[in-house]
Amino acid sequence: MTGTKHIAWAVILSASVLPGCKNRQSTGTTETPVEQGARPAWVQQRPSGGFDYIGIGTANKSRPDWQEAAKKNALNDLASEISVNIEGNSLLYTLDRKSSFDETYTSTIQATTREQLEGYELVETWENGTEYWTYYRLDKSKHAAIKAEKKRQALAQASDYHTRSLASQAAGDLKTAFDLDIRGLLAMHEYWGESDMADVQGKPVPLANTIFGDLQQITSNVRFQILPERCELTFDKDFRREMLISAALVRNGGSTELAQLPLSIVYPGSTGKVTEKKSTDTEGRTQTTVQRVQLDATAPELLVTLDMDALVSKDLDPAFVRPLLASLTVPEKRAVIELRMPRVYLQAGEKNFGVAMADGGSALVLKEELTKRGFRFVEKESESDMVLRLTGNTREGGEANGFHTAYLDLSIAFSERRSGDVVYEGGKQSIKGVQLDYQRAGMDAYKKAGQDLRKEIIPALLDALL
């Protein structure tokens, strides 16, 4: 069948349907089983339905709820006879063609949009010592009439939700508009696979596709602006920057500020991803402070997105809502984060048993590691923003079996040049080096100190600075 898919919907009736049937239905028969004896024809061979849907169920009498189990099985069997054509212009067909819904969600649709059985009647029951059988039927024309009325009511409710959503959009209340459209779709979710023409603002439209298309338009037409366009973090501003974010709905050549719009703001922090949830004010604006950014992040950026989850009320069924949200375009805006690290003057005074070291000490490791993180080293202290003072000296630790032990004491101070304020002060004491003589033992201690600088001291220094 071109443009149409045919699906038999397996139905497991909810508790709200099954018990209610006993009170609501006028069956015309009782559930008194026929006398034990020969199996009736309908047990031996399934009867032809003709103008009725047929449901036959059985249960073993060894289970305590055998009567209810047989009844449930019979009604499931009856419902499995009722099939639904997935119309080519339906929402379910559209979403399936776009591969928006995976198998799990499709099965959820099939389970939760199943036929709500009304008007069925009990024909007969039969039992023997081990089995219990029950037989139900449902007049096809009666079922069609009940369904048509329920569908009419559902589409009327969905149309009302959508009309109110359009009014909210015009007022700039996107959050309410989005919620109303979602509610409109859920109100008619049993008919997503069917033709659903309805009147909206004086025009006949396929309702579910129209509402879903409006949701797509809502999200795709949201525009964010971030000021300044680049987030530059500098030493003189304590590596902090206030960023202004604004949101507007751009549609039909106009722009409407979006108040109380939920946003998600993300950037790489020094201790992991920073995620901030905020809403715009009455003028469609909000602010965030970018600080303590991860230094070694690749192309760090500030990411602003529409918080889709916050647009939807918590009382709505997530089994339907989440896949719908996943099929929509999420508006976003990015701003590059640029860290401008301070200029550093390095003042090193490293000695090996009192003799000044020209190179090969901890100063080289410090310079390499900080340069990789964007620090700029200058030759004159007057040109610097910060001064890094490093002092170290080794001392004898003794000799045993031809091996000499040296201990290194290392001190580091990182301060602002103009104010003299110390940003970080620390070091390592008694770093042990062992070699065949004291000089080489001292160099071995400096080598090990480089490892400690990379693992402990430099991260602590950066943490204090940022």
Q: Do domains 224-306+332-338 and 343-465 have the same CATH topology?
A: no
Q: What pTM did the predictor assign?
A: 0.70
Mean pLDDT over the full length of the chain? 85
Least confident of 54-63, 84-93, 202-211: 84-93
Residue-level pLDDT at 17: 37
What is the band of 80 on the pLDDT scale with cuts at 50, 70, 90?
confident
Which band of pLDDT confidence, cut at 50, 70 and 90, is reported for residue 230?
very high
Q: What is the pLDDT of residue 102?
A: 46
Smallest CA-to-CA distance from 246 within 303, 304, 190 is with 304
Is the predicted pLDDT of residue 205 greater than 50, yes or no?
A: yes
User: What are the backbone angles phi and psi of residue 242, rounded to the nearest 5°?
Assistant: -80, 130
Instruction: Give residue 37's pLDDT.
Output: 65
Percent of the chain with pLDDT over 70: 85
Q: Assign 116 a pLDDT band (cuts: 50, 70, 90).
A: low
Instruction: Please give the Cα distance from 266 to 226 (Å, whole number).
Output: 13
* Residue 107 confidence (pLDDT): 55
Looking at the predicted structure, is the pLDDT value of residue 49 above 60?
Answer: yes
Label residue 24 by pLDDT band (50, 70, 90): very low
Among 105-114, 267-276, 416-425, the range scoring the smallest mean pLDDT is: 105-114
pLDDT at position 15: 32
Provide the pLDDT for residue 466. Answer: 82
Stretch 18-35: mean pLDDT:
42
CB 275 within 8 A of CB 265: yes
Domain layout of the chain by residue ranges: 5-145, 224-306+332-338, 343-465
CATH number assigned to the domain with residue range 343-465, chosen from the 4 options 3.90.1150.10, 3.40.50.10610, 3.40.50.2000, 3.40.50.740: 3.40.50.10610
- Residue 463 sits at the vertex; the CA angle it makes with 457 and 465, to the nearest 5 degrees, is 105
* Pairing label, strands 254-257, 121-127: unpaired
* Secondary structure in 3-state letters for the chain: CCCCEEEECCCCCCCCCHHHHHHHCCCCCCCCCCCCCCCCHHHHCCCCCCCEEEEEEEEECCCCCHHHHHHHHHHHHHHHCCEEEECCCCHHHHHHHCCCCCHHHHHHHHHHCCCCCCCCEEEEEEECCCEEEEEEEEEHHHHHHHHHHHHHHHHHHHHHHHHHHHHHHHCCCHHHHHHHHHHHHHHCHHHCCCCCEEEECCEEEEHHHHHHHHHHHHHHCEEEEEECCCEEEEHHHCCEEEEEEEEEEEECCEEEECCCCEEEEEEEECCEEEEEEEECCCCCEEEEEEECECCCCCCCEEEEEECHHHHCCCCCCHHHHHHHHHCCCCCEEEEEEEEECCEEEEEEEEEECCEECCCCCHHHHHHHHHHHCCCEECCCHHHCCEEEEEEEEEEEEEEECCEEEEEEEEEEEEEECCCCCEEEEEEEEEEEEEECCHHHHHHHHHHHHHHHHHHHHHHHHHHHHC
Residue 137 pairs in a beta bridge with: 54, 121
Lowest mean pLDDT among 74-88, 143-157, 203-217, 429-443: 74-88
- Find the mean pLDDT for residues 215-229: 94
**Angle at the Cα of 45 from the Cα atoms of 44 and 47, rounded to 5 degrees:** 135
| Architecture of the domain defined by 224-306+332-338 | Sandwich (2.60)
The pLDDT value recorded for residue 322 is 81
Instruction: With a cut of 80, say whether residue 97 has pLDDT above it.
Output: no
pLDDT given at position 8: 38
The pLDDT of 185-197, averaged and rounded, is: 88
Q: Is the pLDDT of residue 423 over 90?
A: yes
**Cα atoms in the Cβ-side hemisphere of radius 13 Å centred on 93:** 20
- pLDDT tens string 301-359: 999 999 999 999 989 988 788 878 888 889 999 999 999 999 999 999 999 999 998 77
**pLDDT of 194:** 84
